[in-house]
A and B are shown apart, each in its own frame.
Chain A
Amino acid sequence: SQKIEQNSEALNIQEGKTATLTCNYTNYSPAYLQWYRQDPGRGPVFLLLIRENEKEKRKERLKVTFDTTLKQSLFHITASQPADSATYLCALPYGGGFKTIFGAGTRLFVKA
């Protein structure tokens, strides 16, 4: 069955540094991959979608890479700010795109 793994431990970084989060998947070849942000007690918020034929995608301070050979996506936040502190989830479609599997998420803490 499909499986997604994200850094289980929280990531602590200093303000201004680049945060890098990892998403690995197995038994699967997704057509695209998505990243979401979730704050405590709230629903996830969509950030970026990257398709299998795209190596990299950027949006403001965010950058996502997608390596279908390694079965891995990296999510970067440059010039991080305390307001970036949240849990970041990666998600993949399966079942013909009618189902979605989420990773457990990585908790990011940015210290001022």
Chain B
Amino acid sequence: DAGVTQSPTHLIKTRGQHVTLRCSPISGHKSVSWYQQVLGQGPQFIFQYYEKEERGRGNFPDRFSARQFPNYSSELNVNALLLGDSALYLCASSRDAQETQYFGPGTRLLVL
């Protein structure tokens, strides 16, 4: 079975721009979570979606938003990019909202 996939793998944007990151979960998984990982730190929780509804939100500004589609894939949107948004963005899927998460390879975002 295919694992979690994310696109694009790398992205370069400038300050003030908007970005959309995409994630396809493992087949049969209904929950998707998004994380931001800065070099040298652990992943920081951004959102969890289950059955197309937001179930958890981390301590991130409103510039960050997400949604989950009927096929359980998900998008993470970040508006008005700042230099500090440069990071590895990870998507993880799980069968249920409170089960073990399986991570994708991540999207590396660089904001100039």
A interface list, Cβ under 8 A from B: 4, 34, 36, 41-46, 49, 89, 91, 93, 95-105
Give the distance to chain B from A57, nearest Cβ to Cβ, in Å.
Answer: 13
Give the distance to chain A from B100, nearest Cβ to Cβ, in Å.
Answer: 5
Contact of B55 among A44, A46, A98, A104 (CB under 8 A): A98
B interface list, Cβ under 8 A from A: 4, 33, 35, 40-45, 48, 50, 55-58, 88, 90, 92, 97-98, 100-106, 108
**In the complex, number of A-B residue pairs with CB atoms less than 8 Å apart:** 58
List chain B residues, Cβ under 8 A from A36: 103
Apart from A43-B103, A102-B42: 16 A-B pairs, beta carbons within 8 A: A4-B42, A34-B100, A41-B106, A42-B106, A43-B4, A43-B90, A43-B92, A43-B105, A43-B106, A45-B103, A89-B42, A97-B97, A99-B48, A99-B57, A100-B45, A104-B40
